[in-house]
Amino acid sequence: MVGGGGREHAIAWRLAQDPEPPEIFAAPGNPGIAQVATCIPLSSMDVDALIGFAQGQRIDLTVIGPELPLLAGLVDRFTAAGLAAVGPTAAAAELEGSKAFCKSLLRTHAIPTGEGRVFTEFDKARAHIVAAPGPMVVKADGLCAGKGVVVCDDAAEALAAAERMLVHGVLGPPGRRILIEERLQGEELSVFALTDGEAIYRFGEARDHKRLLDGDKGPNTGGMGAVSPVAGLPEGLLEQVEREILVPIIHALKVEGRPYRGILYAGLMLTPGGPKVLEFNVRFGDPEAQALLPRLEGSFGDALARSVHGGLEGATLSWSPRTAATVVLASPGYPDRPQSGAVLEGLEEAAGPDALVFHAGTALRDGRLVAAGGRVLTVTGLGKDLEAARAAAYRAADRIRFPGVQLRRDIGLKASPAEARA
């Protein structure tokens, strides 16, 4: 397994629960992952070293957590070396890597999404913004570590965002091309799928909480919590998403000569006109994976292998009826200036049959577990319903001693980020 965050801990932990658990090596892993895998000190971006290791150890299957190695062509390189790696090629990963490519593919194949246009010149962007009828969202084309999307209330905000990206270059090359999109209203939903390029297995849904503070206040983060499944979805909605969005996008990528394999994450807005695509990611979400995977039953490793070798329709997976609520414990100063180094205690008391503690940014220093990053731990509570899952998650989170910890108290409470913003 490639990666070393909370999502990767959940993936490795879940693989270790398989009916025939594999022997797992993690590069680089983290102290939590080390409970279920052998961690090896290789960067997730050091493709040559990863290939050398996989060949030396005769690794059967490599699972990649984060998007950056996928965009850098890790799957292409592994495949060329005769190794099986789960996930899309670099060309297919452009679905996440370029918002302009994604939007053009969606429009060409008539897949539901907001209106959007791509600009590299500020003058043209300005003319478009001034003439546009409603609020807009300005997005850097490339990956910007969560800083590339500006949701604007009015034209003045959109102009300022476009100017910062195109004229001042504050986001660097990824922001020198922008997508200006109509701002959609509704509730957000993340829907996951696993595909071998032909068959699609719908891999559950989750709702992320992106803002730092309760009530969807404060700055955007990588995600402060998630719940799965999402209660109260309209009857047939997930089937509609599969029919109108998942099947057509996999088909579209095939037609474009970029066949897609692996996990696909559709970020959707549930608008009055039906579900529309906000973005695709080419991997599991973090912290969505920590809410999804504890509910998965059956052989995860077999299903992932089938996404590489084909025959996904033969996978035997099912879902526990329990609800999962995941709460992120973040360092003081996160997201702008996270302070590392706080000593973490109480993790053993926190974990139990209804509570899982996944390490995100932790390290061992002089034999003590310390915070080493922005998002430090994620705690998943499981219960018969959302209330029970929340109670289990917060009971566990409150047993962890972490000076200056930031966490949201309202994970799963509000139905709609859009409502909370209004």
Contact residues: ligand AMP, CB under 6 A: 114, 137, 139, 149, 151, 181, 183-184, 188, 210, 267, 269, 278-279
Q: Which of 76, 187, 288, 354 binds ligand GLY (CB under 6 A)?
A: 288
Query: Cis ω on the peptide bond leading into residue 66 (within 30° of 0)?
Result: no
Name residues contacting ligand GLY, limited to 196-225 (CB under 6 A): 208, 222-223
Side-chain-side CA neighbours of 252 within 13 Å: the count stands at 18
Q: Which of 71, 286, 373, 417 binds ligand GLY (CB under 6 A)?
A: 286
Nearest in space to 369 (alpha carbons), one of 395, 394, 401, 336: 401
Q: How many residues bind ligand GLY (CB under 6 A)?
A: 7
Residue 309 CB contacts under 8 Å (≥ 6 apart), including other chains: 84, 196
Nearer to ligand AMP, 145 or 156 (CB): 145
CA distances (Å), origin 271, targets 176, 220, 259, 404: 30, 22, 29, 38
Question: Could you tell which of ligand GLY, ligand AMP, none binds residue 66, using a CB distance below 5 to 8 A set by kind?
Answer: none
Residue 348 CB contacts under 8 Å (≥ 6 apart), including other chains: none
Rounded least distance, CB 336 to ligand AMP, Å: 17
Instruction: Classify 34 as helix, strand or coil.
Output: helix
* Alpha carbons 111 and 248: distance in angstroms, whole number: 7
Rounded least distance, CB 28 to ligand GLY, Å: 19
Question: Could you tell which of ligand GLY, ligand AMP, none binds residue 279, using a CB distance below 5 to 8 A set by kind?
Answer: ligand AMP
Nearer to ligand GLY, 222 or 335 (CB): 222
* Alpha carbons 183 and 179: distance in angstroms, whole number: 12
Rounded least distance, CB 80 to ligand AMP, Å: 31
Nearer to ligand GLY, 59 or 291 (CB): 291
Q: Which of 29, 285, 335, 373 binds ligand GLY (CB under 6 A)?
A: 285
Q: Which residues pair with 330 in a beta bridge?
A: 375, 406
Question: Could you tell which of ligand GLY, ligand AMP, none binds residue 205, using a CB distance below 5 to 8 A set by kind?
Answer: none
DSSP state string for 92-134: HHHHHH-HHHHHHHHHHTT--B--EEEESSHHHHHHHHHH-SS
* Alpha carbons 324 and 379: distance in angstroms, whole number: 10
Rounded least distance, CB 190 to ligand GLY, Å: 7
Question: Could you tell which of ligand GLY, ligand AMP, none binds residue 114, using a CB distance below 5 to 8 A set by kind?
Answer: ligand AMP
Segment near ligand GLY (CB under 6 A); pick from 150-158, 283-291, 393-401, 403-411: 283-291
Contact between 223 and 208 under an 8 Å Cβ cutoff? The reply is yes
| Contact between 188 and ligand GLY per CB under 6 A | no
Contacts to ligand GLY by CB under 6 A: 208, 222-223, 281, 285-286, 288
